[in-house]
């Protein structure tokens, strides 16, 4: 399973990259705003900064909600750097734009997906990635993981090449359960990635090994 980090924070991206486990980055307008990135030039430069840190795909989301605007923005984003993937919202204009970009060989990530039907449409439109938001479903007492399993089943039934990019990951068990179900990618915060390291028996065991190593007079 590929690990993407869901942030526009350069320090978090650098830290995940330095661990050697990072396969890409996803951003959205809220994450960019959180870092205080404003103005077109600064936004484009920030995407370039991210591309220069990681080797893999970097999702950059369009702001427009109309088809023409999405095409204009998406073409500009795709031309910025070969690692950029154009992120489009799951609305009719977004599906149409996804079809346009996939026919041009431009990679896409269809976001704000909350149902299997929406994921089916994204695959039909040739999306490179589909982003079901599992944490936000869990937030409203709906089983987000069930949606990931449904999409996996549908995509496997027809050998769709669209990759399931499980998004809105909140914690380590989301990551582990996504891996069990067969999500192609997960995107989450640095805390969800680093949380996978944690086990008290590892800490106790290492403490003991370090103490016993002292007896070896190295
Ligand atoms: O990038 C989209 C998605 O991951 C948002 O996550 O935590 O705002 O629900 P969250």
**Measured on CA atoms in the order 64, 93, 98, 127, is the torsion positive or negative?**
positive
What percent of the chain shows pLDDT beyond 70?
A: 100
Range of the domain at 210: 2-214
Mutate to test the pocket of ligand 1, among 136, 137, 191 (most ligand atoms within 8 A of CB): 136
124 flagged as catalytic: no
Q: What is the pTM of this model?
A: 0.96
Kindly give the distance from the C-alpha atom of residue 188 to the centroid of ligand 1, in angstroms, as a whole number. 8
| pLDDT of 88 above 90 | yes
Q: Over the stretch 23-37, which tens digit does the pLDDT of each residue have?
A: 999 999 999 999 999
Domains in the chain: how many in total?
Answer: 1
Catalytic residue among 14, 87, 124, 180: 87
**What CATH number has the domain bearing residue 124?**
3.20.20.70
């Amino acid at each position: 399973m590929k690990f993407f980090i869901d942030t526009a924070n350069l320090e978090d991206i650098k830290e995940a990259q330095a661990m050697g486990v990072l396969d890409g980055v996803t951003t959205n307008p809220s994450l960019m705003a959180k870092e205080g990135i404003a103005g077109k030039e600064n936004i484009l430069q920030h995407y370039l900064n991210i591309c220069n840190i990681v080797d893999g795909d970097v999702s950059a989301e369009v702001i427009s909600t109309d088809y023409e605007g999405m095409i204009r923005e998406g073409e500009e984003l795709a031309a910025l750097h070969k690692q950029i993937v154009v992120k489009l919202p799951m609305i009719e204009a977004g599906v149409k734009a996804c079809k346009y970009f996939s026919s041009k060989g431009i990679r896409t990530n269809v976001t704000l997906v909350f149902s299997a039907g929406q994921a089916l449409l994204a695959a039909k439109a040739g999306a490179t990635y589909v982003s079901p938001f599992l944490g936000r479903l869990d937030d409203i007492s709906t089983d987000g993981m069930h949606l990931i399993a449904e999409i996996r089943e549908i995509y496997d039934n027809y050998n769709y090449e669209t990759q399931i990019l499980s998004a809105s990951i909140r914690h380590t068990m989301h990551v582990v359960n996504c891996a069990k179900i067969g999500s192609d990618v997960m995107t989450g915060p640095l805390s969800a990635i680093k949380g996978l390291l944690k086990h008290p028996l590892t800490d106790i065991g290492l403490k003991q090994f370090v103490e016993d190593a002292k007896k070896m007079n190295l």
